[in-house]
Structure formats: structure tokens, C-alpha cells
Amino acid sequence: MSSDYQITGSVTQVYPSQSFPSGFIKREFVVTTEDEYPQPLKFEVLKEKCSLLDGITVGERVNVRFRIRGSVTKDGARYFVNLQAWTVGRLNAGNAAPSASDDEPLPREVPTGADDDMPF
């Protein structure tokens, strides 16, 4: 069973949605943490969750709830870690106000055909 994590920080980048021939859609964004040593972390949202980033702007403080997902290339030569966001909440004066009230969990399996679109 996957564990859920959360992080608070400032949005430093929001990328446009990416569509793949298989019908798979993802959108990425970067949040810089508010730790003693701030870290830029790249998150992704999948499919209908891409709309969570609508209206989110660079510089905005957010609280991101996410899951850590791992994958490996078909030949087993490279491993990847993805941070899949499933809620993105705007922070106003220290209070979280979710940009979407969707607590539906992410699918546990990688979508069929998603590996076919990888460049390796």
C-alpha cells in the first residue's frame, strides 16, 4: 500500500500539459520547499488531475499531497522516481484552501501503454 506525503512551498514553474499517442496526459510543476535548505521538487499530475494546476501561478504558496512512484526502463538499465500529486491546495494567510476537493486516490498501476511513450 502506498503512503501519502505532503509538502509546503512556493510554485517556481508550471509546465503545459503533455499528451501522448496512447491517450495518456500529464502535467508537471515545480515547488521549492520552505526547509532550512530549500529544494526544488518536480511533481506530476495525471489525466483529469491536470486541471488541479489551472489558475496556479508562479510564486504562489501551495500545499501538495503526493505519492512516490517508481519505474524502470524495459531493459532494466535506468530507474526513475516520480512524485505524483493528487491534491494541490493554495495557502492563504497560513490556511490551506484546496484548489480542488478531490480526495480520490491515484490508480495503483501504471496506465497501459505509458511505457510505450518513453524515449528508451
Domain range enclosing 51:
4-106
Residue 115 lies in a domain: no
The count of domains in the chain is: 1
DSSP 112: T
Residue 118 lies in a domain: no
pLDDT digits (tens, 9 = 90+) for 83-105: 999 899 898 744 444 444 444 44
Residue 109 to residue 96: CA distance in whole angstroms = 29
Residue 54 lies in a domain: yes
CATH code where residue 93 lies? 2.40.50.140
pLDDT of residue 19: 87
C-alpha cell at 59: 510564486
pLDDT of residue 44: 93
Phi, psi of 52 (to 5 degrees): -60, -25
Residue 113 lies in a domain: no
Q: For the chain, give the number of residues.
A: 120
Of 47, 46, 30, 49, nearest to 38 by C-alpha is 30
Residue 112 lies in a domain: no
pLDDT of residue 17: 87
